[in-house]
Amino acid sequence: MSLLPDLFIQNCGQLLTAAGASQMPKTLQGMNDIGIILDGAVAIKDGNIIDVGTTRQLGKKYNRKGVHIIDALGKVVLPGFVDCHTHAVFGGDRAGEFVQRIQGENYVEILKKGGGILSTVKKTRKLTLEKLVEVSKKHLDTMLLQGTTTAEIKSGYGLNKKDELKILKAIQYLQKTHQINIISTFLGGHTVPAEYKSNPNAYVDLICNMLQEVKPYATFCDVFCDEGGFDVQQSERMLSAAKKLGFRLKIHVNEFKDIGGLPLAIRLCVTSADHLDNIRHRDILKLKESGIICVLLPGVPFFLMKDNYAPGRKMIEDGLPIALATDFNPGTCPCENIQMIVTLACLKLGMTPAQAINAVTINAAHAVGMADRIGSIELGKQADMIILDIQDYNQIPYYFGTNHVKNVLKKGTLIVENKQLVDLR
Ligand code: NIG
Ligand code: FE
């Protein structure tokens, strides 16, 4: 058996490995260390990374006949982005509501009047499984072109058994067919559908009774524990029933209001607590002991024109493991580009580019329970890597609003080349 790699990537001006945190997420000083190798090189065999070093060290060994060589030409190379919180499977859009909000209407008020999430539910229920797959694939293609190689996707726009299952089946189909690695989450507890407005507890019962049937389709179960969603007691009923069935847990919490969901998150040992825009200092300290990953989503307050961003820098100083994600959804953040989220994390959460990059790679991989396979460039890991058309990683957030991703490698296969999807058929 040949010991030579199939592929050798050389001359990476800055190779950002995010290495050394596959067991435990990065915290404190670790968040500042992006594991940079100047003039880096990576050897890949059978889709996995078999060596990492400088081009000088590795070139002699691997730059050989029969090995496919990619010359990174002095550019920035890093692990593919892990978008650990999205709602990417839905029908229609809410551009009209966006205009209403610019003119002064409030997100939660629109939801209470039957718009918001509920208007997306109406549009999603109308679509066939095939159509839903087709529209969602387009979003995923856009994410991939912008460097996302792994994404978590939540259901939650069906809000009845038939349509939640339809969404989960769409996610499952995309898991099998799309090049992005997908982690599936059941979010039947997204909001109370119109049919149950007068009896939300009966809807909570419905979700609890659905769990067994949706289990084969989802790794995680999530609940929107907030104003406009479910109270702590209702959230606890859904999440603890899911836990008993073997789901891992996530929670949307403190996005609009602190209704006391964090103590519940800690009690139930959720994998991640997401949003946290309205977090109190005493909860930060409690979270620290919990091991919960804090997934911050600064695209949401940005898009909702609010000032209450999660205190990212402070949370890092206090030792919390921070991940970042888009929250891609039609209501609060219709942004598929995680590079834009890195910019917002720097400008609005006070994070440095290095901290933000760790938060969208290795720490995000922890938030979806996949840090043993992805999220960093190190020995044995899946070769999910992106080559950016810049020379310095600080330029990711600096030149904001553009797509820096030139090439994407998934398990060592080039699937985006020169900003175009590669047709592998
Ligand atoms: O994470 N607020 C709850 N869920 C989503 C928004 C969904 C929507 O508005 O369609 C969120 O922000
Ligand atoms: Fe969300």
- Report the chain (425 residues): mean pLDDT per 10 consecutive residues: 88 98 98 98 98 97 95 98 98 95 92 91 98 98 98 98 98 98 98 96 98 98 96 98 98 96 97 97 90 98 96 97 98 98 98 98 98 98 98 98 97 97 86
**Can you give the pLDDT at residue 1?**
54
* Residue 293 β-bridge partners: 272
* Residue 38 β-bridge partners: 14
The answer for 419, left when phi > 0, alpha when psi is -120 to 50, beta otherwise, is left
Instruction: Provide DSSP, 48-88.
Output: EEEEEEEHHHHHHHH--TTSEEEE-TT-EEEEPEEE-----
| Nearest of 158, 88, 87 to residue 127 by alpha carbon | 158
Instruction: Tell me how far the alpha carbon of residue 85 lies from the centroid of ligand 1, in angstroms.
Output: 11
Instruction: Tell me how far the alpha carbon of residue 361 lies from the centroid of ligand 2, in angstroms.
Output: 18
Long-range contacts formed by 304-309: CB under 8 A, 24+ apart = 304/101, 304/107, 304/332, 305/101, 305/102, 306/277, 308/277, 308/278, 309/277, 309/348, 309/349
**Full 3-state SS string of 212-225:** HHHHHHCCEEEEEE
Instruction: Tell me how far the alpha carbon of residue 256 lies from the centroid of ligand 2, in angstroms.
Output: 12
53, 41 Cβ separation under 8 angstroms = yes
The answer for 136, left when phi > 0, alpha when psi is -120 to 50, beta otherwise, is alpha
**Can you give the pLDDT at residue 38?**
98
Task: Find the length of the chain.
Answer: 425
- Amino acid identity for residue 280 in this structure: R
pTM over 0.85: yes
The tokens of 225 are what? Answer: 């524990």
- Amino acid identity for residue 315 in this structure: M
Burial of 216 (0-12, 13-18, 19+ CB in 10 A): exposed
As a whole number of angstroms, the distance between CA 90 and CA 120 comes to: 7
**Can you give the pLDDT at residue 360?**
99
Give Cβ neighbours of residue 258 (< 8 Å, ≥ 6 apart): 278, 279, 280, 283
Adjacency order of strands within the sheet including 248-253: 81-83, 148-154, 181-189, 220-225, 248-253, 272-275, 293-296, 322-324
As a whole number of angstroms, the distance between CA 108 and CA 117 comes to: 10
Please give the span between the terminal C-alpha atoms of the chain, in angstroms, as a whole number.
Answer: 28
**Can you give the pLDDT at residue 423?**
85
**Can you give the pLDDT at residue 2?**
67
**Can you give the pLDDT at residue 425?**
72
Instruction: Tell me how far the alpha carbon of residue 234 lies from the centroid of ligand 2, in angstroms.
Output: 18
**Can you give the pLDDT at residue 112?**
85
Which residues' Cβ are closer than 6 Å to ligand 1? 87, 116-117, 120, 224, 252, 255, 300, 327, 329-332
**Can you give the pLDDT at residue 3?**
80
Give the ligand with the smallest distance to the CA of 224. Answer: 1
Pocket perturbation via mutation, ligand 1, pick of 259, 304, 332 by most ligand atoms within 8 A of CB: 332
Give the ligand with the smallest distance to the CA of 153. Answer: 2
Strands 81-83 and 148-154, sheet pairing: parallel
Pocket perturbation via mutation, ligand 1, pick of 152, 251, 329 by most ligand atoms within 8 A of CB: 329
